[in-house]
Chains A and B, each alone.
Chain A
Amino acid sequence: MQHYNMNLTLKVWKQKNNKTKGGFETYPVKNVSSEMSFLEMFDVLNEQLVSEGKEPIAFDHDCREGICGMCSMVINGRAHGPWSQNTTCQLHMRAYKDGDTITVEPWRADAFPVIKDLVVDRTGFDRIIQAGGFISVNTGNAQDANALPIDKQKADESFAAASCIGCGACVAACPNASAMLFVSAKVSHLALLPQGDPERKSRAFNMVNQMDTEGFGSCTNIGACEAECPKGISLENIARLNREYIGSMMSGSSVEGTA
């Protein structure tokens, strides 16, 4: 791999808090190495800003290895940037060349209000899980783990859905700011396992309800979510969620009593 250095221009969304209006600011960044990650480039810029006595840019991040779901930047119009199936923290600067201008914005959705700069409030996702994204089993109630064999293919499919990192890129990518891909991933993860079966009906119904309450938009089958999802969560999950949801409506099963 050939390494190189580059000078860039960054246009970054700055917003003091959710009560003030934000806007773009332009920053030159010099001597960025192609080996840096995108967030390391931000570290360099922030160090520069601190040394100039200016305020650094706030952004969310933690694991920096694509698994915690904390990082969240819309880069040149794309959630998590140009690489497919990738998070912001795993994007590396070799994706860019000398002289490039890069625009960076926060996730934009009514249900994800901006906290500061590139940081948004995603607690709506937690409340959707609270509405039914679990299996009601108390500690100590479990039978032997191998007492119930699970078809490998089903288990693998469930795992694939469970690999959602709850980042919210699907919402940011969707023109309607719908959270259907996120919700469907959780519904699929649990619906594909026999352990998740008893609460299947109420789960789909209650989670979708909560999604609406939070102010996420509705799904009109655009597919932008799947294209930007860093974990390759498939649209098939949305189809499954729709079936589960209709199932729960048809059976008239209770809306309450998830727990």
Chain B
Amino acid sequence: MPLNSKIPAGPIDSKWKTYKATCKLVNPANKRSLEVIVVGTGLAGASAAASLGEMGYKVKAFCFQDSPRRAHSIAAQGGINAAKNYQNDGDSTYRLFYDTIKGGDYRAREGNVHRLAEVSANIIDQCVAAGVPFAREYGGLLSNRSFGGTQVQRTFYAAGQTGQQLLIGAYQGLERQVSLGNVEMHSRHEMLEVVMVDGVARGIIARDLVTGKLERHFGHAVLLCTGGYGNVFYLSTNAMGSNVTAAWKAHKQGAYFGNPCFTQIHPTCIPVSGDHQSKLTLMSESLRNDGRIWVPKQKNDQRKPSEIKEEERDYYLERRYPAFGNLVPRDVASRAAKERCDAGYGVGSSKMAVYLDFGAAIERYGKIEANKQGKPNLSKEEIIVLGKGVVKEKYGNLFDMYEKITGENPYEMPMRIYPAVHYTMGGLWVDYELMTTVPGLYALGEANFSDHGANRLGASALMQGLADGYFVIPYTLGNRLADDIRTKAIPTDHPAFVAAEKEVSDRINKLMSIKGTESVESFHKRLGKIMWEKCGMARNEKGLKEAIEEIKALRKEFWSNVRIPGDIDEFNPELDKAGRVADFIELGELMCIDALNRNESCGGHFREEYQTEEGEALRDDEKFMYVAAWEYKGEGQFELHKEDLNYEVVHPSARSYK
């Protein structure tokens, strides 16, 4: 099937306006007989379900946690971007569009990204109206900060809990629709199959995770808002339950997977402390507004950070990238940290860490505060006390989190940080309307591949999730369902539902019947190790080829030796996890295949064979200016389809942050 991205014709800034003015609409009476399934209630899913419910569609929403309020979006810390230009520092829709295209290393679609920038301002308006308590200035207006890869302050935030506040806002909107009867919420449910009727997605099979029962649910359309797949690496900053299962089932039903190898490794996370480690904790990018990153100039320096004098420190980001300094994009910052540690300059007991230091910021803020309070003659100690107060107000919860995990006080000594898997730019391929290659099946939020190219800028995932759910899908879904108003609800005893349910139940039975000797957790760890070492921050042909073979072998072993305790018809987290790990193993193989195919370095995808003399990523626009969309062709078999990327507005150039 040729890929049609359905980008509307016309100048970049009128595409979305034209689309909205000309798309088909569904009248209110007809909406009531149209059913929509929304899988996932993170920012993308909760905003979509609430908005569609308000519009009059009959919505069923699903999540695997005990409440929609607990989706992984809750953990987002730093902020959300919007081109409001409240700071009068030169921001505009165009600049947000440009920064995002450049930040994505010219591997994203111009049309989608411009739409994202256009609706960004509405998102902030919507959230404030819904009661999201963003940070404010003394004058009562909204406050902003900067994030990496930009030179303006366009990030809105709520201390270090922005995701929480945004999700609670969307969740409350969702619960309001539940109370009105417009949305039926199914929590502790996991979607395990897409049901296809005559080539169209018409429902799902879901498992009630409390009773273990399988359920059939019909929908005129199915929206997957199921988040990213960073946990394929075992260790990541994602919540423990985040998984690829929904997207992977869709992929096997015909939805192409876009750019699976594009993974974001976030530069500032708390380093691994031992084998028992179950997840990694992010220290928000917002900290790079005020924290300075350094390592000792001397190799293998054993001294305490406080004993290392200013001139003995290498502020390597400021040295290498003077224009952006500590605020270079994530891929660049992560690679630079790895380079220093690999070269022997790392700190801490593992030597796989660098310092993130707030000493200078504390002093600077202390002085400003002293002046504000009219006390210019305070001692250095007093100034530091004031400065700590300011830093506490900005980042207090992050500092507390750091101290709880490491037992060290970051107000007194620099944080130790190291890159960790954080986000996946890849995901289900979607067109401009957010529809996958399966008619009637949509993907929103981190689950799709659409807007971030090869590297996502900080504070843009929250923006994209809410853009998709609040402002895009309400239009694009109507454009399809307008032609579906004559389709009656399909009864769930239809053979397609019966067959899909049988498929799911056979697979569960098969998993339970293996009765091997190795735990699910152990397989997951082994997969993660292969992925991190061979498809992680740096990749090469040899390693990727090895990884593919190792993963194939791991899959065989899993299906012959996994041990799952307990029963099918009960609350059984080990069984839930087994299904997810089985899908991760298959995805891991595709990620390596994609990384092997892409003979260039771009954004988060760094192939060691393709770099400049200075160690920067070397793109190959001639050969690889395309989205790699993979079609599932049977176990371990994938066919590549290319969507060429046309840059009509921005001219791709070597991405420089120097």
- B586 within 8 Å of A by Cβ? no
**Alpha-carbon distance A17/B179, docked complex (angstroms):** 29
Is there contact, CB below 8 Å, between B563 and A50?
A: yes
- CB neighbours (8 Å) of B343 from chain A are none
Is there contact, CB below 8 Å, between B178 and A130?
A: yes
- CB neighbours (8 Å) of B124 from chain A are 145
- CB neighbours (8 Å) of B573 from chain A are 56, 58
- A252 within 8 Å of B by Cβ? no
**Alpha-carbon distance A43/B520, docked complex (angstroms):** 12
- CB neighbours (8 Å) of A205 from chain B are none
Given contact pairs A189-B133, A193-B131, A64 touches B278 in the complex (Cβ within 8 A): yes
- CB neighbours (8 Å) of A94 from chain B are 407
- A137 within 8 Å of B by Cβ? yes
- B646 within 8 Å of A by Cβ? no
Is there contact, CB below 8 Å, between A259 and B565?
A: no
Is there contact, CB below 8 Å, between A146 and B141?
A: yes
**Distance to closest chain A CB from B406 (angstroms):** 7
Given contact pairs A1-B408, A140-B122, A135 touches B67 in the complex (Cβ within 8 A): no
- B605 within 8 Å of A by Cβ? no
- B276 within 8 Å of A by Cβ? yes
Q: Which residue from chain B places its CB closest to the CB of A141 in the assembled complex?
A: B129
Q: Which residue from chain B places its CB closest to the CB of A51 in the assembled complex?
A: B519
- CB neighbours (8 Å) of A162 from chain B are 131, 133, 158, 165, 168
- CB neighbours (8 Å) of A92 from chain B are 404-405, 407
- CB neighbours (8 Å) of A50 from chain B are 519, 521, 563, 565, 574
Q: Which residue from chain A places its CB closest to the CB of B159 in the assembled complex?
A: A159
Stretch at the interface among B169-177, B318-326, B446-454: B169-177
Given contact pairs A146-B86, A258-B179, A126 touches B185 in the complex (Cβ within 8 A): yes
Is there contact, CB below 8 Å, between A150 and B136?
A: yes
Is there contact, CB below 8 Å, between B175 and A134?
A: yes
- B241 within 8 Å of A by Cβ? yes
Q: Which residues in chain A, 145-202, are within 8 Å of chain B measured between CB atoms?
A: 145-146, 148-152, 155-156, 158-159, 162-163, 165-166, 189-190, 193, 195-196
- B139 within 8 Å of A by Cβ? yes
- B128 within 8 Å of A by Cβ? yes
Is there contact, CB below 8 Å, between A189 and B565?
A: no
Partner of B566, one of A51, A55, A69, A166: A55
Is there contact, CB below 8 Å, between B574 and A56?
A: yes
**Alpha-carbon distance A166/B171, docked complex (angstroms):** 12
**Alpha-carbon distance A55/B574, docked complex (angstroms):** 10
Q: Which residue from chain B places its CB closest to the CB of A121 in the assembled complex?
A: B66
**Alpha-carbon distance A138/B174, docked complex (angstroms):** 11
Given contact pairs A126-B185, A159-B133, A143 touches B74 in the complex (Cβ within 8 A): no
**Alpha-carbon distance A158/B169, docked complex (angstroms):** 13
Q: Which residue from chain B places its CB closest to the CB of A133 in the assembled complex?
A: B172
- CB neighbours (8 Å) of B176 from chain A are 130, 134, 136, 259
Q: Which residues in chain A, 98-137, are within 8 Å of chain B measured between CB atoms?
A: 115-116, 119, 121-123, 125-126, 129-131, 133-137
**Distance to closest chain B CB from A236 (angstroms):** 17
Interface residues on A, range: 35 or more
- B513 within 8 Å of A by Cβ? no
Is there contact, CB below 8 Å, between B67 and A122?
A: yes
**Distance to closest chain A CB from B162 (angstroms):** 11
**Alpha-carbon distance A151/B281, docked complex (angstroms):** 33
Partner of A64, one of B135, B173, B240, B519: B240
Q: How many A-B contacts at CB < 8 Å in the complex?
A: 228
Q: Which residues in chain B, 252-286, are within 8 Å of chain A measured between CB atoms?
A: 273-274, 276-279, 281-282
- B125 within 8 Å of A by Cβ? yes
Q: Which residues in chain B, 442-495, are within 8 Å of chain A measured between CB atoms?
A: 470-471, 474
Partner of A189, one of B65, B74, B131, B279: B131
Is there contact, CB below 8 Å, between A43 and B570?
A: no
Chain B 109-152, CB-CB to A under 8 Å as 1, else 0, gives: 00000000000001011111111011111111110000000000
Partner of A70, one of B66, B278, B571: B66
**Alpha-carbon distance A226/B538, docked complex (angstroms):** 48
Partner of B136, one of A66, A116, A152: A152
Is there contact, CB below 8 Å, between B140 and A151?
A: yes
Stretch at the interface among A34-42, A216-224, A241-249: A34-42
Partner of A33, one of B138, B276, B279: B276
**Distance to closest chain B CB from A2 (angstroms):** 9
Given contact pairs A139-B54, A140-B122, A70 touches B273 in the complex (Cβ within 8 A): no
- CB neighbours (8 Å) of B139 from chain A are 149
Closest 10 pairs between A and B when the two form their complex, measured CB to CB: A149-B140, A142-B129, A134-B172, A142-B125, A130-B179, A159-B133, A1-B407, A145-B128, A139-B51, A116-B571
A sample of 12 more A-B contacts (CB under 8 A), given A90-B405, A133-B172, A195-B129, is A56-B573, A63-B74, A65-B75, A130-B178, A134-B173, A135-B130, A137-B129, A138-B54, A139-B47, A145-B128, A162-B165, A166-B67
Residues of A within 8 A of B (CB): 1, 16-17, 33, 35-37, 39-40, 43-44, 46-47, 49-51, 53-56, 58, 60-70, 83, 86, 90, 92, 94, 115-116, 119, 121-123, 125-126, 129-131, 133-146, 148-152, 155-156, 158-159, 162-163, 165-166, 189-190, 193, 195-196, 258-259
Residues of B within 8 A of A (CB): 47, 50-51, 54, 65-70, 72, 74-75, 84, 86, 122, 124-131, 133-142, 158-159, 161, 163-165, 168, 171-173, 175-176, 178-180, 185, 187, 210, 239-241, 273-274, 276-279, 281-282, 401, 404-408, 470-471, 474, 517, 519, 521-522, 563, 565-566, 570-571, 573-574
